[in-house]
Amino acid sequence: MRYRRTNTAGLTYNTSIQVADLLKGDTRFGGSKAGYINTNSTDSSLVVWSSSNGVNAYSSYNLYTPVGVDDDENGIPLVYSLEQNYPNPFNPSTTIKFSIPEQTNVTLKIFNSIGQEVASLLNGEMAAGNHSVDFNASKLSSGVYFYRIDSPSFTSTKKMILIK
Write out the chain's pLDDT in tens, 164 residues: 333 434 444 444 444 444 444 444 444 444 445 554 455 544 455 555 555 555 555 555 554 444 444 444 567 888 999 999 999 999 999 999 999 999 999 999 999 999 999 999 999 999 999 999 999 999 999 999 999 999 999 999 999 999 98
For residue 110, count CB atoms less than 10 angstroms from its CB and return exposed for 0-12, middle for 13-18, buried for 19 or more.
Answer: buried
Domains and CATH numbers, the chain: 2-68 (no CATH), 81-162 (2.60.40.1930)
The pLDDT value recorded for residue 156 is 97
Q: What angle do CA 30, 31, 34 make, to 5 degrees?
A: 110
The pLDDT value recorded for residue 11 is 46
The pLDDT value recorded for residue 1 is 35
What 3-state DSSP class applies to 120? Answer: strand
**Predicted TM-score of the model (pTM):** 0.56
Report d(CA 103, CA 97) in Å as an integer.
16
The pLDDT value recorded for residue 47 is 53
The pLDDT value recorded for residue 76 is 86
Residue 138 vs residues 28, 90, 92, 110, 163: alpha-carbon distances, Å = 75, 10, 5, 14, 10
**Which one-letter DSSP state was computed for residue 81?**
E
The pLDDT value recorded for residue 70 is 46
Strand intervals (E) in 63-128: 64-68, 81-82, 93-100, 104-111, 117-126
The pLDDT value recorded for residue 75 is 75
